């Protein structure tokens, strides 16, 4: 993985000193809160419902075991013994004290981490495929481009005060695992022998996003040579910076501009802006050079893989059978099916560690004990590295197939092997009203209630792939718009209600879910889920996933079932909120 040079390290070290001074001035009263607010936000520090929350950047979701141990240390010393992995592949600590935050940033700087640009109207942490560099379906490793663009966008003076926050996602695999089309800019990397001499190119999608106005991004540029990404993206951001609305917070994202102009006109304006300086830029330091590529790409070479033979699932199961009792065989088999993914290199696999235990922890939360244990597992089984997924789980990317059983046993001791990846209880959820000051309703109790209702793994495996996403407000940090089933917390006269959407999906066939009707009380949600799932089971054809059944039948049978016994929409119908 990328290692800081003296420029990177100097930048984060100086930022710690600057923020220490700013915090001291805030604490002694010489810096007012309205003056301090933009400064703390530039360092990822929010003031939430109960305390300050610090959001730490994990560039494109890649972590070393040393970094994870530091996060565990921070959780113990400065927070309440746990951290929350987010849908932006970051981590948040929800209980930090203001006066301690410079010390936390200093600890992060020691392991080449920071919280810069995890907040504010700037280019945020760039996200990518959690299986980058190892995915069996990958045609380009996106990490060098991710890192080059991270360096290009960090503290970029021209884009420090955009109309609103700006999010990039970068994919280089056949399957999109980045929710590419729901980002302000999605970059799909390719190699085409007929373009750019067979070198790397990029297709650019712009104007995607969730929130109050969910829109899928539009293709505005194809076959862009990788070398000119900085100048083209500079042109794109200049158009947004110039014409993006600043008079209305809710209409300031680039998706509103692209929708208003139309993708073709937006693309034309970007081309015009690009042409104004492209010839000059070709000769300038703005574009990437081969030397820059080589400087960064050398950090993403393959680890020292052994020369191993690829094993089939049957061979893996046969290898494990004699070492497992009957109960363990079921658990291990299910884990192989749901949590173990194909790898580029024969004899290796990638493993997803589930952070979605049924009802015992919030989705995406990891205790300091779990973080330390995962760091040890990464050292022992996966070359000391791990990944964060936007689905709020962790990945050990390079595990020898013959070590899968040993890894499963070790991870089981820390409650990390629940075989529910991609199933109904692999819920994506934001912190919601329990922590977030923007939330209209709580997310975590809803997730807990659903996990407790559907706690039968046999049944979950029979249901198959279903995504369920929960957001506590329209800002959509839980990505509810792209859940097959989405739950959105809304406020009605000071009470928490929940709106249901169906038909959302991520991946190559991404779609935005549709609202099925009036919202429900919190205590109705588990029954609503039961009604939706029962309808799916009754209506599905053999091996038909939930999303395909929904697309075949439409919303009508699901809606009728959801409201048949729920959604009375009166205070009298409520049995109280879920605790």
Per-residue model confidence as pLDDT tens digits over 166-195: 999 999 999 999 999 999 999 999 998 777
For residue 105, the model assigns a pLDDT of 98
Tokens representing residue 80 in the block: 């309440």
For residue 323, the model assigns a pLDDT of 92
Per-residue model confidence as pLDDT tens digits over 39-79: 999 999 999 999 999 999 999 999 999 999 999 999 999 99
Is residue 186 within 8 A of residue 171, CB to CB? The reply is: yes
Is residue 209 within 8 A of residue 253, CB to CB? The reply is: yes
For residue 578, the model assigns a pLDDT of 66
Cα 520 from Cα 6, distance rounded (Å): 55
Tokens representing residue 520 in the block: 């429900």
For residue 570, the model assigns a pLDDT of 45
Residue in 482, 552, 487, 529 with CA at minimum distance from that of residue 510: 482
The helix or strand, by DSSP H or E, that contains position 82, with its residue range, turns out to be strand 82-85
- Do β-strands 62-64 and 385-388 pair in parallel, antiparallel, or remain unpaired? antiparallel
Is the model more confident about 571 or about 206?
206
For residue 285, the model assigns a pLDDT of 65
For residue 31, the model assigns a pLDDT of 97
Q: What is the mean pLDDT of residues 296-322?
A: 93
Per-residue model confidence as pLDDT tens digits over 389-417: 999 999 999 999 999 999 999 999 999 99
> CA neighbours within 13 Å on the CB side: how many for 332?
24
Q: What is the mean pLDDT of residues 145-166?
A: 95
């Amino acid at each position: 993985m990328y290692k800081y040079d003296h420029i990177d390290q100097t930048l984060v070290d100086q930022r710690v000193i600057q923020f220490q001074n700013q915090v001291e001035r805030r604490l002694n009263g010489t810096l007012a809160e309205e003056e301090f607010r933009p400064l703390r936000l530039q360092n990822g520090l929010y003031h939430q419902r109960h305390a300050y929350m610090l959001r730490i950047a994990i560039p494109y979701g890649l972590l070393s075991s040393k970094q994870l141990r530091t996060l565990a240390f921070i959780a113990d010393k400065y927070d309440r013994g746990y951290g929350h992995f987010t849908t932006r592949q970051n981590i948040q600590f929800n209980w930090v004290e203001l006066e301690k935050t410079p010390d936390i940033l200093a600890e992060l700087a020691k392991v080449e981490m920071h919280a810069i640009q995890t907040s504010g109207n700037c280019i945020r942490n760039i996200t990518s495929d959690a299986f980058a560099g190892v995915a069996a379906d990958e045609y380009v490793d996106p990490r060098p481009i991710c890192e080059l663009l991270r360096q290009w966008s960090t503290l970029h003076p021209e884009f420090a005060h955009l109309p609103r926050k700006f999010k990039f996602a970068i994919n280089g695999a056949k399957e999109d695992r980045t929710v590419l089309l729901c980002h302000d800019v999605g970059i799909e990397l390719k190699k085409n022998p007929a373009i750019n001499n067979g070198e790397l190119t990029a297709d650019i999608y712009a104007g995607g996003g969730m929130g109050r106005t969910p829109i899928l991004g539009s293709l505005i540029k194809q076959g862009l040579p990788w070398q000119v990404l900085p100048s083209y993206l500079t042109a794109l951001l200049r158009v947004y910076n110039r014409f993006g609305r600043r008079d209305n917070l809710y209409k300031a994202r680039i998706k509103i501009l692209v929708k208003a102009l139309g993708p073709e006109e937006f693309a034309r304006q970007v081309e015009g802006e690009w042409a104004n300086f492209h010839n000059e830029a070709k000769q300038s330091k703005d574009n990437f050079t081969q030397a820059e590529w080589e400087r960064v790409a050398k950090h993403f070479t393959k680890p020292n893989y052994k020369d191993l033979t690829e094993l089939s699932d049957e061979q893996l199961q046969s290898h494990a059978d004699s070492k497992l009792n009957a109960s363990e065989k079921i658990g291990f088999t299910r884990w192989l099916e749901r949590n173990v993914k194909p790898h580029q290199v024969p004899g290796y696999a990638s493993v997803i560690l589930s952070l979605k235990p049924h009802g015992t922890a919030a989705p995406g939360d990891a205790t300091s004990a779990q973080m330390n244990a995962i760091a040890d597992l990464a050292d022992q089984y996966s070359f000391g590295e791990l990944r964060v997924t936007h689905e709020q789980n962790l990945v050990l990317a390079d595990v020898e197939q013959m070590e899968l059983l040993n890894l499963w046993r070790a991870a089981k001791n820390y409650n990390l092997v629940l075989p529910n990846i991609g199933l109904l209880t692999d819920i994506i959820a934001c912190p919601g009203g329990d922590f977030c000051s923007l939330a209209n309703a709580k997310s975590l109790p809803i997730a807990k209630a659903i996990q407790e209702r559907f706690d039968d793994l046999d049944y979950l495996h029979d249901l198959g792939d279903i995504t369920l996403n929960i957001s506590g407000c329209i800002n959509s940090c839980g990505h509810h718009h792209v859940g097959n089933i989405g739950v959105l917390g809304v406020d009605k006269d000071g009470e928490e209600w929940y709106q249901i959407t169906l038909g959302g999906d991520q991946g190559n066939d991404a779609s935005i879910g549709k609202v099925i009707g009036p919202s429900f009380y919190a205590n109705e949600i588990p029954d609503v889920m039961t009604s939706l799932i029962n309808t799916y089971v009754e209506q599905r054809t053999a091996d038909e996933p939930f999303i395909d059944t929904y697309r075949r039948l439409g919303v009508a049978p699901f809606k009728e079932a959801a409201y048949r016994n729920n959604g009375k929409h009166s205070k009298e119908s409520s049995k109280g909120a879920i605790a």
